[in-house]
Amino acid sequence: MSFVSIEQAGYGVPSGGTILDRVDWTIGEGEFHALVGRSGCGKTTLLKLVAGLLAPSTGTVRIQGEPVRGPGAQVGFVFQAPTLLEWRTVLDNLLLPVSLTRRPQPADRRKAEELLDLVGLTGLEGRYPSQLSGGQQSRVALARALVTEPPLLLLDEPFAALDAITREELQNDLLKLCVRHRTTVLFVTHDIAEAVYLADRVAVMEGGRLRHALPVPLARPRGRDVRYSPRFNALCLELRHAMDGSQSGVALERAS
Ligand SMILES: Nc1ncnc2c1ncn2[C@@H]1O[C@H](COP(=O)(O)OP(=O)(O)OP(=O)(O)O)[C@@H](O)[C@H]1O
């Protein structure tokens, strides 16, 4: 059974505009899917339907077979600009998803510290967000999204506006964390290379419709040099062609 199943999902706004149009998409358990497309094509809106932050106007979104009726505990989010609570320390920010439902226990604290270690922030537990760099704040947001070990993670350009090296480090952190927890991921990005590096499958959205889905046949774990391999570059080029609608040398699988 698919972990996420999007069936003929549409979303319109009261003014009459169609933002999403009959989107069909399935994501298997533990799979990492990326969604690319030009600005304004509907990527964030689709993510919000899966998150339960918006209800589809038509069609259905299911998680583990159940229709999504609102934000659920099984979903973790990271959005473009990390939204950390300024008046709470890094550790308390990490424990926030836990403290919304119950008093954090020593085991939760250990878990949070382990995640901070994984994202390279050990020693900064007592700092406040304003005392962190943008990249460090993104790391905290990523660790926080995983503290309750949600089986599904939705990421909307979480590494936008970071320098290339920090971005690569965070991509590797993310892959490490997701493999460890066997997390199912839907990752929105503008960056074609980022999508190819991270995902098992990349979907291309255009004008509110899913146009193509491209499997990424690169071995895991991704080696450091994979980004410079001819295969990697060929996949990026193929996606680039899919995004601008020009002919691709390799047949793309239709998505919907
Ligand atoms: N509440 C709304 N009312 C009217 N139009 C909206 C609303 N929300 C989004 N839109 C429009 O829907 C379209 C898709 O928006 P969305 O944020 O999903 O795009 P996106 O692909 O994520 O864009 P970007 O890559 O720039 O973040 C845009 O044209 C946007 O202006």
Q: How confident is the model at residue 249 (pLDDT cuts 50, 70, 90)?
A: very low
Chain mean pLDDT for the chain: 88
Distance CA 57, CA 245 (A): 27
Distance CA 101, CA 189 (A): 31
The pLDDT value recorded for residue 161 is: 64
Pairing type for strands 58-63 and 209-215 reads unpaired
The pLDDT of 94-100, averaged and rounded, is 88
**Does 73 contact ligand 1 (Cβ within 6 A)?**
no
Neighbours of 248 (CB within 10 A): 15
Distance CA 239, CA 243 (A): 6
Q: How confident is the model at residue 237 (pLDDT cuts 50, 70, 90)?
A: very high
pLDDT, greater one: 25 or 81: 25
The pLDDT value recorded for residue 180 is: 82
Residue pLDDT, tens place only, 157-216: 988 767 788 788 888 888 888 888 889 999 999 899 999 999 999 999 999 999 889 999
The pLDDT of 231-251, averaged and rounded, is 78
The pLDDT value recorded for residue 230 is: 92
The pLDDT of 25-35, averaged and rounded, is 96
Highest-confidence range of 39-43, 81-85, 216-220, by mean pLDDT?
39-43
Provide the angle, in degrees to the nearest 10, between the axes of the packed helices 164-181 and 134-146. Answer: 10
11 Cα–ligand 1 center, Å: 11
Neighbours of 245 (CB within 10 A): 10
220 Cα–ligand 1 center, Å: 33
* pLDDT at residue 109 greater than cutoff 80: yes
The pLDDT value recorded for residue 246 is: 61
Distance CA 248, CA 137 (A): 39
Provide the angle, in degrees to the nearest 10, between the axes of the packed helices 134-146 and 106-118. Answer: 130
Residue pLDDT, tens place only, 52-77: 999 999 999 999 999 999 888 788 88
Residue pLDDT, tens place only, 11-28: 998 887 899 999 999 999
Nearest CA to ligand 1 atom 4: 13
The pLDDT of 78-94, averaged and rounded, is 88
Residue pLDDT, tens place only, 131-141: 998 888 888 98
pTM to 2 decimal places: 0.88
* pLDDT at residue 32 greater than cutoff 90: yes
**Does 42 contact ligand 1 (Cβ within 6 A)?**
yes
The pLDDT value recorded for residue 127 is: 96
Neighbours of 48 (CB within 10 A): 19
**Does 43 contact ligand 1 (Cβ within 6 A)?**
yes
Q: How confident is the model at residue 253 (pLDDT cuts 50, 70, 90)?
A: low
135 Cα–ligand 1 center, Å: 26
147 Cα–ligand 1 center, Å: 29
